[in-house]
Structure formats: structure tokens, C-alpha cells
Chain A
Amino acid sequence: MDGLLTPALPLSARLPAAAQFHVQEVRGRPRRAGSIVDLIGNTPLVRLGQIDRETPGVEIWAKCEFANPGGSVKDRAAYRIIRDALSHGDLRPGVRLIDSTSGNTGIAYSLIGAAMGLPISLVMPSNVSNPRKQVTAAFGTELIFSDPMEGSDGAIVRAREIVEENPERWYYPNQYANESNWRAHYDGTGPEIIAQTEGRVTHFVTGIGTSGTVMGTSRRLHEYNPSIRCIGLQPDDAMHGLEGLKHIPSSIVPPIYDESVLDETLWLPTEDGWDMAERLASEEGLFVGHSSGANVAGARRVAKQLVAEGEEGVVVTVLCDRGDRYFAPLKWEKHYVW
């Protein structure tokens, strides 16, 4: 009843002291920005009101990471990696950033590089689809093509060769091992969730790719309130179709991944993620990618469990990017790797 008695009190005055600290840090998205990079982060939090009608007493909310300028959650890590590399002198005049990706991280580096006047090179297999080439080349990024038969692993190997030939010319950020990756979420996504839920968040669920989002956000949420349950989500099998997510037992473990940070791991079938992505579009108006579908399917599973146990809760997850990034190639394009 507190809220009814004190309607004029600002949000910060209704929160415990620890939460007030986070509110001060989170400034909100500026209405006017000096550069597109100032619009990275501070994404909206949206209630999934149709999905959580099935879990009375448990709310499901999602961070709209597709609202970042590059269209994905990867803007956060890429921007932090670049800023930290500039301040440490790893990126300096005469040095180009190089990475092996045709996906969201490549788009993020390309956009930030263009906006900040930094040269970017991306290595990708020559048979990736034209849209994937065009979306990064449009920002002025240099594209280097690797052997189409060797796939994305071949692109990684080629990027490493290029760096080894001329190490002083390149900065290779390796987001899987880069501390700036999870710190972007420790200083951004985590405090934003605390402020946007007014400290009410009880569960955080998200998929593991590089693990940056789940590591950084979970560390911050646990610092704020150790009883918040932080749950990492993985595909239930090595053979899966959840692009961007990693099945850790069959993969090279990202060096920044530390399982002890998590309270639980949730294993999700690909089909559950794909089905939920379709539901989010038709029922919530959120046309998002399969990894976002997987995240919400995971959040819903946690919410259902809480209902079954007679508990209430506020479950928060992440919408990583939009679905249109994954439009399948047309039939005549089908020999490309999308």
C-alpha cells in the first residue's frame, strides 16, 4: 500500500538504498544524442503480458536488446570492448580491429567503427549470403574472405593467421575471452534490470553464447540481492538450431564463462525456442530471433515451475535481436550459407 499513500514520491525514494544506487547509475536512454553510440544500452523492458497470463502471480519481462542501434545485444559488448581497447592503447592510430564473424558482433563492430572513425576488418567464409556481406560492408568495413569449405572455424583460423603475420597492425578482441564483454552487462544490463523492475526482479534467465550477458548481469544481480536466481540456458543437445547459443558440453568453453556464478542451468530443445519465437510475433507483436524465443521459453518454464510451487515472482529475460535478421535465403540463393 506504500505506493498508494505516497503517490508523489519519486521512484528512487521508494527503493532500498542499494537499489537507489543503481537508479542513479542508470540514466535512461537520452532523447537526443551527440552520436549513435550514445544510444547503445538503456534498452526498454517490456512485459510479456500474453505469455505470462498462463502463469498467474509470476510476471515475465524482457529486455528489448533489438532496440540497440545495431539491432542486437552485441552492441553492448562491442562498444565496451572498443572503449576499453582505446583506453588501454590496444586500439590506436595504425591499428585495425579484426574479428571473424558475419553475425551480430560483426554488425556491432562495423557500426561503432564507422561512428567513431575506427577501421574494422571482418573475416567470413566467402559463401555467406550477400545480405550478411552487405550489412557490414555498408559501414565501410573491410571484408576478408576465407575458404568456403572450412566454415566459420576456417574464418577464425584465417583471422588468427592474419594477426600473427603482422601483430602490430591488428587488434583481435576475442569476445569469448575478453573481460570487457561481461563488464558491459555488469555495468549496463544488470543495473538497468534492477531499476526497471524497481528492485522486484526475482529470477534472471538467458542463453549462453559467449556467456557475456549471463555472467555480467548475474554478477550484478547477485551483488544487489543474493537471493535472485540467475539461470543460464543452453540447447539440450550438440545438434541444435538455436543460432548464437552454445551447447557448452560439446564446445570449447569460453574463458569468461564461470559456471559457479549461476544458480542453475536450464536445457532447452530447439523446437521450444522456435515455437516461442513464432508465438512472440503473433501474440506479443515481437518479431525476434530464435535465441530470443529460447530465452522466453526458458523464462516461461521457470515461471511455470514457480506457479507449481505456489510462489510468486518477477522473471526477466533478454530479447537478443529481431527475427528479420534470419530471413532464409530465397530458393535461388539456397547454395549460400546464411
Chain B
Amino acid sequence: MATVRIPTPLRKYTQGQEEVSIEAGTVRDLITNLETSYPGISERICDDKGAVRRFVNIFVGEEDIRFLENLDTGVKDADEVSIVPAIAGGMK
């Protein structure tokens, strides 16, 4: 299972968990399975056409999936996947 790092504004869906484990072969599967375990989370990550929202960055390991194969990017069991909103400002 891959480890998914959840950003602060999405932890309300994961009962406060900073990391969750999800079974997936691609980033697309990972988001689908994330939604099954944590209903409501995927529409904050993807738009109504299923594309990753422009202000959301997803990293597999250190690599931004926009520079890889986007939602088709492969995910291996040991991978760490990070979901990061594209802003530098903090929550204070």
C-alpha cells in the first residue's frame, strides 16, 4: 500500500490523520480508493471532469505528476504520495 500525505485542509475527511495507506496502481486509482475510504475528499482534489484541480499539486515521491504521466502515473507499494495546495501562505 502507498502512503498518502494529507494536507491540513483535507484532514477533516481523514478524521485528522496526516497520513493514510491506500492500495493503488496509478494516481487515478489512488484518488478513487481514497474517495471510497474517505467520502467527499476527491471533489476537493479533482474537478467535475475528473482532472486534478489547477491549484492542487500531487507528488509521487519527489516528482510532480504534471511532469510525469499525470493521473496515469504509476504508484508502487513503497511510494509516498503527497497532495499539496499550490500556495505558499500558511494557516498562520
**Which A residues lie at the B interface, using CB under 8 A?**
102-103, 128, 132, 151-153, 155-156, 176, 209, 237-244, 246-247, 250-252, 254, 270-271, 274, 331, 334-335, 337-338
Q: Kindly identify which residue among A102, A132, A239, A331 contacts B85, using a CB–CB cutoff of 8 Å.
A: A239
Q: Kindly identify which residue among B12, B55, B92 contacts A241, using a CB–CB cutoff of 8 Å.
A: B55
Closest to A254 in B: B92
> Using a Cβ–Cβ cut-off of 8 Å, how many residues does chain B contribute to the interface with A?
23
Closest to B63 in A: A334
Closest to B86 in A: A241
Please give, as numbers and ranges, the residues of chain A lying within 8 Å of B89 by CB-CB distance: 103, 152, 209, 243-244
Closest Cβ–Cβ distance, residue A271 to chain B (whole Å)? 7
With A240-B85, A243-B89, A337-B88 given, is the CB distance from A331 to B67 under 8 Å?
yes
User: Judging by beta carbons under 8 Å apart, are A103 and B53 in contact?
Assistant: no
Docked pose: A241 CA to B47 CA in angstroms:
14
Closest Cβ–Cβ distance, residue A124 to chain B (whole Å)? 10
User: Judging by beta carbons under 8 Å apart, are A243 and B9 in contact?
Assistant: no
A-B contact pairs, 21 of them (CB 8 A): A103-B89, A155-B90, A176-B92, A238-B12, A239-B56, A241-B53, A241-B55, A241-B85, A242-B55, A242-B87, A243-B87, A250-B91, A251-B92, A252-B92, A254-B92, A270-B54, A270-B55, A271-B53, A334-B64, A334-B67, A335-B62
Q: Kindly identify which residue among A152, A239, A271 contacts B10, using a CB–CB cutoff of 8 Å.
A: A239
- 17 new A-B contacts, CB < 8 A, other than A250-B91, A251-B92, are A102-B88, A103-B88, A152-B89, A152-B90, A153-B90, A153-B91, A240-B55, A240-B85, A241-B87, A242-B87, A250-B12, A252-B91, A270-B54, A271-B53, A271-B55, A331-B67, A337-B88
0/1 string, B36-76, CB within 8 A of A gives 1: 00000000110100000111100000101001000000000
Tell me what chain B mostly uses at the interface: helix, strand, loop, or mixed.
loop
Instruction: Determine whether B25 belongs to the interface, using a CB cutoff of 8 Å to chain A.
Output: no
User: Judging by beta carbons under 8 Å apart, are A251 and B44 in contact?
Assistant: no
Docked pose: A118 CA to B89 CA in angstroms:
25
Docked pose: A246 CA to B91 CA in angstroms:
8
Q: Kindly identify which residue among A237, A254, A337 contacts B9, using a CB–CB cutoff of 8 Å.
A: A237
Docked pose: A251 CA to B55 CA in angstroms:
19
Q: Kindly identify which residue among B9, B64, B88, B92 contacts A338, using a CB–CB cutoff of 8 Å.
A: B88
User: Judging by beta carbons under 8 Å apart, are A241 and B54 in contact?
Assistant: yes
Please give, as numbers and ranges, the residues of chain B lying within 8 Å of A239 by CB-CB distance: 7, 9-10, 44-45, 56, 85
Q: Kindly identify which residue among B45, B85, B86, B88 contacts A128, using a CB–CB cutoff of 8 Å.
A: B88
Q: Which 7 A-B pairs have the closest CB atoms?
A: A241-B55, A152-B90, A238-B9, A243-B87, A239-B9, A239-B44, A252-B92
Please give, as numbers and ranges, the residues of chain B lying within 8 Å of A240 by CB-CB distance: 9, 55, 85, 87
Docked pose: A338 CA to B86 CA in angstroms:
9
Closest to A275 in B: B54
Please give, as numbers and ranges, the residues of chain A lying within 8 Å of B55 by CB-CB distance: 240-242, 270-271, 274
Docked pose: A252 CA to B7 CA in angstroms:
16
Docked pose: A247 CA to B92 CA in angstroms:
11
Closest Cβ–Cβ distance, residue A191 to chain B (whole Å)? 29
